[in-house]
Chain A
């Protein structure tokens, strides 16, 4: 699942429409739009809204650090128009820096490492660019800070498009203008989303039902249960057929064990056969 955090509905609209996301009617606190692969939350502007939205999103949906990604997407102020990948986020109020892990090569999706920028999260709309090499917006530091309790830094991606160079009057940036800007970058974003959604890490899983049954048949204590779990995992990763071994112990009448003591003896035999 890709979880997307976007400050404003007008920024998110082109993505919502392109991905065909449907409004989640069970969510009252925040606007959430989702499909079977995407879940987008409209956080509202500023750090408080952003951290609340991220916390809400990640507690409502259990984030899986092997399969899921958290993406913060939105507009920012910067020197030159473009879509940028963020490699450093500075909270302007606290001075604290946050670093997403940039492990994946997204150059074939329009985001080479030359597209990376440092970003400053400001607590108000910026009227100019204090450092012209940096980008300025109002949520990313809070997104990172709140998400870092749940999410690995390589599973957080910050994508920002430049809408302006800083304005004296926030009203100059209209919703229609932001929607138009977001629309420009939506095809590129969808490509990046597609790439990120494929980044799934393998997880070792064994037959839980067989594990539970084996624990019962060995009359396992808590300590023995831990040992059996370790043996199941080892058998799985070392490519050994534990099911066949247990089956032969059944045929020999050693399973199920008649007592805990007998279970220990059989467990030793399983261990010896696996090693």
Chain B
């Protein structure tokens, strides 16, 4: 943006509130924290979130907050590109759409037409649906796929509620994926080993360049270490592995940082996956982010997913795998097997 007035409104300067949930306790609690914001009543979140021709990129500079009620089913079967870590009943749920962080490679940029953040305040309805599902079979549920719930914890309190719910439902395991620095959660919340905190781990140079507003590598490792210390289950996700000219050096250096803070034997497992994205999503990303190196990379379309050239992909994943072999037993290293599922 070339402009002497290029200052954007502050994040959540505008809060759109569905009339139906205006009196919900969480709505009132969230609104009370934003006394300087403008509240705009809406009938349905899609009236704002699904407008045509929105600029995801610019909205990230001044995201609006949308408070809404999730209707219909809240729990979905996992997609083939997601690792299921050997669980048969692998699901995900989205109590929040979009994220306060701004990762350049994020699939949400291709999936959603808007960079605004939607919080579905009626988490209790998701719990009810999940209780019905749990009567049928055990469930492995990712609750932080389409957002970073820890990053939004001070606003929603959802992580705390999910941990409590999981503690009281024995055949439920949840995964909370994050790039947040927050570690106070582990001090406040009683631990539960069926709650997996999954930290995305990237070299600092990759974080600086492509994962804006997220915690530094050290902050993530310190937070993960605190989680382990407090008795939570932790997974490290070397996913996505991102290509740059000096990727090999970056990932090797990163590994030295990882072993400074984390004892691999205390981890539940690790995952490795090079960057990949749906071919449909990349079209939108390339159009919306014309100056993004990561979006404009000449990927190969294999099975409907844009991926690094096969040889490069193998080399990258093998390199990270080799680094991790000395850190954790091989049976705890999950490689992305989306190519077979896709």
Where the two chains meet, the residues of A that have a C-beta atom closer than 8 Å to any C-beta of B are: 65, 87-88, 97, 99, 101-106, 108-109, 113, 116, 118, 148-149, 151-154, 195, 198-204, 227, 230-231, 233-234, 236-238, 271, 274-275
Residues of A within 8 A of B14 (CB): 87, 102, 113
Bound-complex Cα distance A255 to B113 (A): 42
The majority secondary structure among interface residues of chain A is mixed
The reply to whether the CB of B16 lies closer than 8 angstroms to some CB of chain A is yes
- Does A105 contact B1, Cβ atoms closer than 8 Å? no
A-B contact list, 20 entries, CB within 8 Å: A65-B55, A87-B14, A101-B64, A103-B61, A104-B5, A105-B10, A113-B9, A113-B37, A153-B51, A153-B54, A201-B1, A203-B290, A204-B291, A230-B296, A230-B298, A234-B293, A274-B298, A275-B243, A275-B298, A275-B309
Bound-complex Cα distance A201 to B287 (A): 13
- Does B3 contact A237, Cβ atoms closer than 8 Å? no
Question: What are the 3 tightest A-B residue pairs by CB atom distance, in nearest-first order?
Answer: A204-B290, A198-B3, A152-B53
* Partner among A99, A108, A201 whose Cβ is within 8 Å of the Cβ of B40: A99
- Does A99 contact B53, Cβ atoms closer than 8 Å? no
* Partner among A149, A153, A202 whose Cβ is within 8 Å of the Cβ of B1: A202
The reply to whether the CB of B165 lies closer than 8 angstroms to some CB of chain A is no
In the complex, the chain B residue whose C-beta lies closest to that of A191 is B5
Residues of A within 8 A of B7 (CB): 104-105
- Does A151 contact B53, Cβ atoms closer than 8 Å? yes
Bound-complex Cα distance A234 to B294 (A): 8
Where the two chains meet, the residues of B that have a C-beta atom closer than 8 Å to any C-beta of A are: 1-10, 13-14, 16, 36-38, 40, 42-43, 47-48, 51-55, 58-59, 61-62, 64, 243, 286, 290-293, 296-298, 309, 312
- Does A113 contact B51, Cβ atoms closer than 8 Å? no
* Partner among B42, B48, B59, B292 whose Cβ is within 8 Å of the Cβ of A103: B59
- Does A105 contact B9, Cβ atoms closer than 8 Å? yes
- Does A97 contact B42, Cβ atoms closer than 8 Å? yes
Residues of B within 8 A of A87 (CB): 14, 38, 40
Bound-complex Cα distance A148 to B292 (A): 26
- Does A200 contact B3, Cβ atoms closer than 8 Å? yes
- Does A152 contact B54, Cβ atoms closer than 8 Å? yes
Known: A118-B40, A154-B58, A204-B291. A103 touches B8 (CB 8 A): yes
In the complex, the chain A residue whose C-beta lies closest to that of B299 is A230
In the complex, the chain A residue whose C-beta lies closest to that of B8 is A103
- Does B54 contact A154, Cβ atoms closer than 8 Å? yes
Bound-complex Cα distance A204 to B290 (A): 6
In the complex, the chain B residue whose C-beta lies closest to that of A99 is B48
Bound-complex Cα distance A237 to B16 (A): 36
Residues of A within 8 A of B54 (CB): 101, 152-154
Known: A101-B59, A118-B40, A198-B3. A234 touches B9 (CB 8 A): no
Question: Closest approach, in angstroms, between the C-beta of B175 and any C-beta of chain A?
Answer: 33
- Does A199 contact B48, Cβ atoms closer than 8 Å? no
* Partner among B10, B58, B243, B297 whose Cβ is within 8 Å of the Cβ of A201: B58
In the complex, the chain B residue whose C-beta lies closest to that of A67 is B2
* Partner among A88, A105, A153, A195 whose Cβ is within 8 Å of the Cβ of B53: A153
**Apart from A104-B5, A233-B286, 15 more pairs, CB < 8 Å:** A97-B42, A99-B47, A99-B51, A105-B8, A105-B10, A109-B5, A153-B53, A199-B5, A200-B3, A201-B1, A202-B290, A204-B291, A204-B296, A230-B298, A274-B298
Question: Closest approach, in angstroms, between the C-beta of A54 and any C-beta of chain B?
Answer: 15
- Does B309 contact A103, Cβ atoms closer than 8 Å? no
Bound-complex Cα distance A199 to B312 (A): 40
Known: A87-B38, A233-B296. A202 touches B52 (CB 8 A): no
Known: A87-B38, A153-B53. A237 touches B293 (CB 8 A): yes
Residues of B within 8 A of A105 (CB): 5, 7-10, 62
Bound-complex Cα distance A148 to B297 (A): 31
* Partner among B3, B9, B52 whose Cβ is within 8 Å of the Cβ of A199: B3
In the complex, the chain B residue whose C-beta lies closest to that of A235 is B296
In the complex, the chain B residue whose C-beta lies closest to that of A205 is B290
